[in-house]
Amino acid sequence: MQEHQDYYTILRLSENATLEEIKRSFRRLARDCHPDLHPNDAKAAERFRLLREAYEVLSDSARRSRYDRRRGTNLSQSEEKASPQVYYVRGVEKILVRDYRGAITALSEAIRLNSRFIEAYLKRCEAYIAIGNERAALEDCQLILRYQPDSAIAYYYRGRARQRLGYADSALKAYTKAIRLDPNFAPSYYYRGVANHELRYRQRAISDWREYTELCKKQGNLQGYRLGMRALSQYSWLPLKFGNRTLEQWWYKGVDSFSPNGNDRNAQAWHQFQHQLAGGMRFLQLSVQTGILTLLQLLKNPVGGILSAYGSLEPKMAMLISFGFIFLAEAGFWVGMSSRFSENEGATFRWLILGMIPIISLFLIIGLTRSLFQASRPWTGDLFMASSAILPLAAFSFCSAFFDLMPNLIVFGLAVFSVSHTILLLYGGCSQLLNLSESLSALIVPTMIIVTTFLTWLGLSIFF
């Protein structure tokens, strides 16, 4: 037996490996260097001999016990001469074989010898996260940031630790800081997407996972690319495929036949224009998906769901979805009114104006209420609340085109449902978006309905 050989390292095992793990590791490694498979390779034969020697010692409990005692003596004699780098390398090797506790011991010794060994702190954070000691990882992150405030990986590990402790909001801020310091560090995007998903920021989560997938693709990280695609396929609800392609894929297929060949400026400008429009297609698809999901969330829980529905949207997306709701409301109102009343010259334009009166009225009343009670929500919340509240009434107006085919009981049920849903949405918006008390919300909602109804009746008498 050669004293300088570390049998645990040769078999890629931790010091507390079981007999079954030793046998499994030996069989796996022996396949790559067996003399029968490499008859003319002297290095393979020597490698197999070392594997066999290590296996024979470690698989025998008595010989392994004697080897461990000798090995411990040799290690203790060399510890005095070992440098922080030696312990760091030893810790990294133990992480590779998933001996995280052994890695922490080695890395702690490296840090003891050099208290500003940033790489050792980072690796120890990784080991702490692996064994579930998140608070120790946070302490290491604090020490790292004291010596190196711009360490993106330290903020990444801080986010991982906080997220596993249940502080998703705090973890989100740490991931964002890590991305700001190093935009090419892909894992920060993936776990920020996880945190966004936990906080019900669905659109932001999908955006982060898409960025993670693109980075992994550029960096040649196939495993990460598959992980990102799996997250996107799992959480990108309603993929809106036509045939077997999305809108973006159909766009690329359609314009490829018209793309100019060559590398001249015209070809480059065309390809740049093509990618910009493809990005628009991707944004349109995401907007439709988010709008449908928001609509279903409001339908399912009009009181408790309006805050989470609005809070999961970025301001631009909230405004876009609000305008989409207004468009649907106008279309439903126009279809219903046009079918119930006779058309005359200019009636279509007047119906559209009349349909805008309750939306504008609710928007102004909500904005005035927010100003009076100093609510901190931006005006996009007022628009979202007004457009959401008017949708049930617009749906009832749309259904009125088919009232002749419905029993009176169904018509009455639809009327009660639409009015009740509008009241619940206004109440949920006042109590959650405007953060008003329940008693105040119960007073303001009837006021909103009375004023809006009066203004709509006034507009009806003026235009018709």
pLDDT in tens, 346-404: 566 777 787 788 888 888 888 888 888 765 667 788 888 888 888 888 888 888 877 77
Q: How far apart are CA 199 and CA 193, in angstroms?
A: 10
- Model pLDDT, residue 267: 59
Residue where one domain finishes, among candidates 218, 236, 254 = 236
- Report the distance separating Cα 206 and Cα 184, nearest Å: 18
Residue 41 included in any domain = yes
Do 214 and 340 fall within a single domain? no
Helix (H) or strand (E) holding 294: helix 265-300
Distance between CA 389 and CA 329 in Å, rounded? 10
| Average pLDDT score, the chain | 79
Assess whether 118 and 193 both reside in one domain.
yes
Residues 226 and 321 grouped into a single domain: no
Indicate if 159 and 56 belong to the same structural domain: yes
Domain membership of residue 145 (yes or no) is yes
430 C-beta neighbours (distance < 10 Å), count:
27
**Shared domain check, 156 and 69:** yes
* The total number of residues written for the chain in this structure: 464
pLDDT-based confidence at residue 336 (cuts at 50, 70, 90): confident
Provide the domain limits for residue 450.
301-463
Q: Is residue 345 part of a domain?
A: yes
Q: Residue 242: beta bridge partners?
A: 245
Check the CA dihedral 116-103-53-31 and report its sign. Answer: negative
Q: pLDDT at position 176, please?
A: 92
Residue 180 in this model has a pLDDT that exceeds 90:
yes
Q: 247 pLDDT exceeds 60?
A: no
Residues 6+ apart with CB under 8 A from 252: 274, 278
Of 337, 336, 333, the residue nearest 325 (C-alpha): 333
CATH of the domain at 23: 1.25.40.10
pLDDT category at 157 given cuts 50, 70, 90 is very high
Tell me, what's the pLDDT at 217? 83
Q: Are residues 312 and 172 in the same domain?
A: no
Asked whether residue 314 is assigned to any structural domain, the reply reads yes
pLDDT at position 2 = 44
Asked if 327 and 426 sit in the same domain, the reply is yes
Rounded distance between C-alpha atoms, residue 174 and residue 254, angstroms: 42
CA-based nearest residue to 190, from 217, 219, 220, 213: 213
276 within domain boundaries: no
Q: Which two tokens stand for residue 32?
A: 């790559």
Where a domain ends, among 236, 263, 291?
Answer: 236
Per-range mean pLDDT, top range of 61-65, 149-153, 249-253:
149-153
Residue 92 lies in a domain: yes
Q: Hey, is 182 helix, strand or coil?
A: coil
| Tokens at 238, concatenated | 């309603």
Which of the four pLDDT bands, split at 50, 70 and 90, describes residue 141?
very high
The answer to whether residues 431 and 327 belong to one domain is yes
Identify whether residues 325 and 401 lie together within a single domain: yes
Q: Which residues contact 187 (CB under 8 A, 6 or more apart)?
A: 156, 212, 224
Give buried/exposed letters for 51-79 (b at 16+ CB in 10 A, else e).
beebbebbeeeeebeebeeebeeeeeeee
Half-sphere exposure of 84 (CA within 13 A, CB side): 13
Q: Report whether pLDDT(282) > 80.
A: no
**Rounded to an integer, what distance in angstroms lies between the CA atom of residue 374 and that of residue 62?**
78
pLDDT at residue 175 greater than cutoff 90: yes
Tell me the pLDDT band of 156, cut-offs 50, 70 and 90: very high
What would the two tokens of residue 110 be? Answer: 């490296």
Spatial separation of the C-alpha atoms in residues 72 and 146, rounded to whole Å? 36
Q: Are 208 and 81 part of one and the same domain?
A: yes
Within a domain: residue 266? no
Indicate the pLDDT class of residue 5, thresholds 50, 70 and 90.
Answer: low
Report, as an integer, the average pLDDT of 20-30: 83
Q: Choose one of 184, 210, 236: the last residue of a domain.
A: 236
Tokens for 207, please give them. Answer: 């955006």
**Residue pLDDT, tens place only, 283-316:** 777 777 778 878 888 888 888 778 777 876 777 7
184 phi/psi in degrees, rounded to 5: -100, 5
Q: What pLDDT is recorded for position 187?
A: 92
- Full DSSP string of 344-364: -TTHHHHHHHHHHHHHHHHHH
Largest separation between any pair of C-alpha atoms in the chain = 104
Q: Are residues 192 and 332 in the same domain?
A: no
Percent of the chain with pLDDT over 90: 10
pLDDT of residue 201: 79
Task: Name the residue with higher pLDDT: 40 or 319.
Answer: 319
In a domain, 279, yes or no: no
Counting the structural domains of the chain, the total is: 2
Query: Is 307 strand, coil or helix?
Result: helix
Specify the pLDDT at position 237.
45
Residue with the larger pLDDT of the pair 220 and 250: 220
79-132 per-position pLDDT tens digit: 545 678 888 888 888 888 888 888 898 898 888 888 888 899 999 999 999 888
pTM, 2 dp: 0.49
**Are 218 and 321 part of one and the same domain?**
no
Tokens 């107006």 belong to residue:
397
Residue 5 phi, psi dihedral angles, 5° rounding? -85, 135
